[in-house]
Structure 1
Amino acid sequence: MKQVNILLVVCILAAFVAAVIPTPVAAQEETRVIIQYRSNERASVLQQLQSAGAVVNYTFPEINAVAVTLSAQTLNAMRANSDILAIEPDEPRYMTGQVVPYGVDAVAARSVWDANYDGVIDAGAPTGENVTICIIDSGIQRSHEDFQNVNIIGGYPAGWDTDNYGHGTHVAGTIAAMNNTLGVVGVTPGTVSLYIVKVFGDSGTWTYASTLIDATYKCRDAGAKIISMSLEGANFSSIENYVFNQLYNTNGILSVAAAGNSGGTAYSYPASYDAVISVGAVDQNSNVASFSRRNDKVELVAPGVSIFSTYKNSSYAYMSGTSMATPHVSAAAALVWAAFPGMTVAEVRAQLQNTALDLGVAGRDTSYGYGLLQTYEATGGMDPTAVDLVRFEGSVSETGIGVVWETAMEVDHVGFHLYRMAETEGLWTRLNTEMIPAQVMGDASGAVYNFADTTAEANVTYLYRLDDVDTNGKVTTHGPITVMGTQPSAVSLSGFAAQGTASPMAFSLVLVAALGMVVTLFSRRNA
């Protein structure tokens, strides 16, 4: 009877231990490959793969091939099959990342809203938000991936949101392509509002002055602050001139137009009206383009040679012309208005003129006007208001490296970004996912900040740098400081390891407890 009771206890114990400690199951490693087989062997190869549990992703009978996901065991079996001609990895292919067209940086636009060029729009930076630009052109392909989430408030006439010519879509991309992981980014990072007036058809043929006048009134009625016109005509129109004067002086609208693409010194309209900014084109070396008009109406120049931007049929293309230079200026004006909402149209225009980079003959000239557009300077980005640090230091703890900094004052300050670099790597990595906000924003007093770097590895020397961001989105860098990570001296143990497996310590505790139960029950039964 005693033996039966002991056996019962042992069985209970075995069941208990089995329930607590799961039986490890070996993971089946799978891989994705393309297999090419002998002609006429398709059926037998597919049957072998399916019998082995392989997943058929694609079949290509035209080339006697199949793309499959299979286990290592099945892969080895297929390699031994004499009907198989070739097996190669099904290599991954990735989407091309976003490109910053050279023109965006040539006019220092990215410095306005992404001062450290990390691809993230800086908090508080002027981006053109709440400013509307009206584009008069061949329409826009609204469905283009780089206009998703752009605030396109509407357009005119019906069909304005399509563009089978591509010119208007290219212009719009330079102004407002989204700052995302796709394609390109605009002078404003997809944050300005757009209104579209389509005056050119699918062939891009000419239109009339009256059509343009009607288009400008549509822009005005839509609440546009800026009208962008990458178009030209040879002859002066007094009525058209009157309308642009009215838009400028009465409605406070800034009109921007292409200086013209035929070279020479002739005037183009509407660019050569006094109430319109005439934009010439330069290349990547800031040399005036051979096709750019040169006359005393040229006011500013911007990149216009081989500009990469959005295009028709959801594509991207390089285009050249003063048409490509014009949207740089239109978008820059939106950034200035966003930085200084109280400015008048005349003040915005003067700001663009006064901050331009003088090129060619000193002062205003017929090739470059006042010079190359400089958006950063035009938005007030001269010297950032740096935070004074009382200290910036790091120390090692059991959980990693603690970084501490203290400010003396935080006037015009928004927050911080903390970066780390392993001494042997030479690559900075931002540690904070969101900006570390200022504790006493706009205050003449300071504050203490603590950051725990729990990912630091043992026996690795790290450099830390601190970027402070002011209210204009401008960045000042502090440091770097150097700290060596060391192995933590304490290790915390949990009862059970993650993912349903028992830790060695837990197993021992369970076993000891179970044996104790056996001994106790056995002793009581014998008593």
Structure 2
Amino acid sequence: MKRWLWLGLGLSGLVASGCGSDPDPGGDILPQACPGTAEAALPAPAVSALSSTPAADGVIITYKPKVSASALAASADIAAAVEREGGTVKRRIPNMNVVSARLSPEAVTALKLHPDVLSVTPNRRVFAMGLPTPPPLVSWQGALNTQGSVGEYTEGLKLVQAPQVWDANNDGVIDTGAPTGEGVKVCVIDSGWDSKHPELKNAFLKGKDFVDNDEDPSDQSEAQGVVTVGGGHGTHVSATILAQFGAGSGGRVGPGQDPNGVVGVAPGASLLVARVLDTDGGGSTDDVIAAVDWCHAEGARIASLSLGAPDPSEAEQLMFEKVWENGNGMLSVAASGNDGKRGISYPAAYLPSVMAVGAVDLQGEYAVFSQYGQELSVVGPGVGVLSATVLGAASLSSVNVGAAPVTSSPLTYTAQGTYTGRLVNCGLGADRASCGEAATCDGFVAYVDRGDLFFEEKARNVIQAGARAVIIGNNVADDGDGTFTLGSANSHWVPTVSVSMASGSALKQLVGKDVTVTTTGLDYQRESGTSMATPHVSGVAALVFSARPDLSAAHVRAVLEKTALDDKTTPGVDEKYGHGLVQAAKAVALARTLPQGGGPLPLP
């Protein structure tokens, strides 16, 4: 039952007191939070990656190389100068004459006067280039062919012609001698990976975590004994490149998906994982620089970066140019950004050392969120892309009133499980009192209308009122169930789903009836963004390198651009499509015609 606690203060009035009780600004008295729910902290609201610019993570110091000293010794000298100014060294990258550090403004001013210092620039933040929420599940149910292993071939895979390279007769078996990416190392610079996911385990070679500074690039971090798991961005990207045939057998897949999971564009390639993004999808420029350096040192032919920032970094650009020009070079492929405006994000915009990748939908049409500009190289599938994610991180939901099902979509980061209880109308879920006297700590299903507050705040309020499951009704008639998120993972969340405006109106007429809410974990999910387009291009590049390992990065870039499928709306190279949609079969065919070593670059 609901508990209230009152504390008299003389004759002036009464206020609620006790654990979790507090008056709201209007003077109303809130019920106490139900036991075990008061600690459900409100996560920070999710924001678009490039719509905000948080403070830089210190500075990047570029210094003069010393002829009379080794790179390590020169790096140590600058590190010592930082410490003399009261600063803290974050990372040393001797190979690039770079040190990153945290310094006071006064110390930065002093360090700029050091005779060996060339520049001191912000260590800017970078972000994952996936959209914050996936498309609704209802939009992709039944989308894949489920006949045999051919059902592992996703729409994006077919759109870039990958199966035509290694399964020309479409029988679900790799053709003998066909290029599959074998012999090619692809380095995914992202949020890390799920080492337990069967799609990636056999392809993995080595990894490094530049966030936690260890050798385990898992998509998670631990602080004070609490493990926080990321959203699976790096796992999704990696599997698009090189998920294995038949590896997902026994995994949890959604309706219409093949029980064997998915196949990557280059299923024979080898995976290097460089984790530079934290569990919130953010990272620092110095970690990207160090990761690019590490990937190149490990022999990667391709670096895939589904991340970026709105502004350039001189030190970062120099690193990409170095690995591009070194020997046959490393081809860096990066996402153009998701703000739907002119202006490519960085590092994608560094010409010619990085290929900028924009997104198209599964019909090959320009995706409205894809950033565009003259630096755009090519495009790849980036809307509703099906790939692997952290095991169990994706969800499938159902809502039932008696035997009658109600179409729903799970909120991102929802808890998983099943709960049956009385339906209680909690209005907008503005506070713990929103559910009224019908709410008890014995449990109930909260119905909450969309509007005014972040979904995670609504959920926190009704959970503290005793809700064991939450249904959020959309308030936009043509938006279906909506595509909503709880912002971030939280151990106190309960199964939380959304329903359409029409379904919400119907449910509100059934208040007091028993409702069952179920959310089930999945190992694959659809995501959108230029983050998803980028690994398609990286995978095609791996197929070309596999067919012609003697080619340089510049040759492979030229081959991909020359053979890309031009869009029909604006023929020729343009700002929204670049050279067009990458085509693996055409690219491999052209690459095979080039002389040994590549010869002159193919003209676009």
Secondary structure, counterpart of 1:367 in structure 2: coil
Counterpart secondary structure, 1:147 = coil
Q: 2:240 aligns with which of 146, 157, 174?
A: 174
Q: Which residue, out of 539, 553, 566, partners 1:345? A: 553
Alpha-carbon distance between aligned partners in 1 of 2:265 and 2:153, rounded to the nearest angstrom:
9
Give the Å deviation of 1:152: 2.8
Match of 2:326 among 250, 255, 274: 250
Counterpart residue number, 1:158: 215
The one-letter amino acid paired with 1:325 is A
Aligned to 1:335: 543
Determine which of 350, 358, 361 is the counterpart of 2:570: 361
Take 1:152 and 1:142, find their aligned partners in 2: how far apart are those partners?
11
Deviations 1:38-63 (A, max 9, x none): xxxxxxxxxxxxxxxxxxxxxxxxxx
Find the counterpart in structure 2 of residue 294 from structure 1: 372
Counterparts of 1:96 and 1:291 in 2: how far apart (Å)?
35
**Superimposed CA distance per residue, residues 234-270 of structure 1 (whole angstroms, 9 cap, x where no aligned partner):** 1111121111111101250100000000001023000
Q: Secondary structure at the match of 1:140?
A: coil
* 1:224 and 2:290 correspond: no
| 2: CA distance, partners of 1:245 / 1:299 | 17
Distance in 2, Cα, partners of 1:112 & 1:95: 20
| Equivalent position of 1:117 in the other structure | 170
Alignment of 1:71-110 (within 5 A): 99-110=152-163
Judging changes above 3 Å, is the alpha-carbon distance between structure 1 residues 198 and 151 closer, same or farther for their aligned structure 2 residues?
A: closer
Question: Does the 8 Å CA contact 2:382/2:529 hold for their aligned counterparts?
Answer: yes
CA 1:96–1:312: 2 relative to 1, 3 Å: farther
Deviation at 1:148, TM superposition (A): 3.6
Indicate which of 172, 184, 187 corresponds to 2:262: 184
Judge conservation of contact 1:291–1:321 (CA < 8 Å) in 2.
yes
Q: Distance in 1 between matches of 2:194 and 2:237?
A: 11
> Residue 127 of structure 1 corresponds to which residue in structure 2?
180
Q: Which runs of 5+ in 1 are unaligned?
A: 1-93, 385-527
Contact 2:207 2:215 in 1 (8 A): no
Secondary structure of 1:207's aligned partner: strand
Q: How big is the shift at 1:382? A: 10
Structure 2, unmatched stretches of 5+, are 1-145, 221-228, 250-259, 393-522, 594-604
Q: How much has 1:95 moved relative to structure 2?
A: 13
Q: CA deviation at 1:383?
A: 12
Residue 209, structure 1, aligned to residue 285, structure 2: yes
C-alpha distance in structure 2 between counterparts of 1:136 and 1:105, whole Å: 25
C-alpha deviation, 1:179, in angstroms: 1.1
Tell me what 1:410 maps to.
Answer: none
SS at match of 2:152: coil
1:161 CA drift (Å): 3.4
Cα contact 1:151–1:192 (8 A) shared by 2: no
The one-letter amino acid paired with 1:195 is L
TM-score under structure 1 normalisation?
Answer: 0.53
Q: Secondary structure at the match of 1:213?
A: helix
Distance 1:95 1:317 in 2: 20
Partners in 2 of 1:372 and 1:170 — Cα distance?
Answer: 20
Q: How far does the alpha carbon of each residue in 1:312-364 deviate from its partner, in whole angstroms, 9 at most, with x for none?
A: 12510100000000001111111001111111111111100110011132211
CA distance in 2, matches of 1:193, 1:130: 7
Matched position secondary structure for 1:245: helix
Deviations 1:22-73 (A, max 9, x none): xxxxxxxxxxxxxxxxxxxxxxxxxxxxxxxxxxxxxxxxxxxxxxxxxxxx
Residues 396-411 of structure 1 mapped to structure 2, 5 A cutoff? none
Structure possessing the higher relative contact order (Cα contacts under 8 Å, 6 or more residues apart): 2
For 1:228, what is the secondary structure of its paired residue? strand
The counterpart of 1:264, out of the listed 331, 341, 344, is 341
**Is 2:387 the partner of 1:309?**
yes
How many residues are paired up? 289
TM-score between the two structures when normalised by the length of structure 2:
0.46
Do 1:112 and 1:381's aligned partners in 2 also have CA atoms closer than 8 Å?
no
Q: Does residue 323 of the first structure (1) align with residue 323 of the second (2)?
A: no
- For residue 179 of structure 1, what is the amino acid of its counterpart? F
Supply the RMSD in Å over aligned alpha carbons: 2.1
The 8 Å contact of residues 548 and 591 in structure 2, kept in 1 or not, is answered as no
Amino acid at match of 1:158: E
CA distance 1:127–1:96, shift in 2 (3 Å): closer
1:207-240: per-residue Cα shift (whole Å, max 9, x none)? 1211110110111111101000000101111121
Pair 207,380 (structure 1): closer, same or farther in 2 beyond 3 Å: same
SS of 1:194 mapped into structure 2: strand
Distance in 2 between the 1:211 and 1:382 partners?
Answer: 34
Q: 1:247 to 1:367 in 2, by over 3 A?
A: same
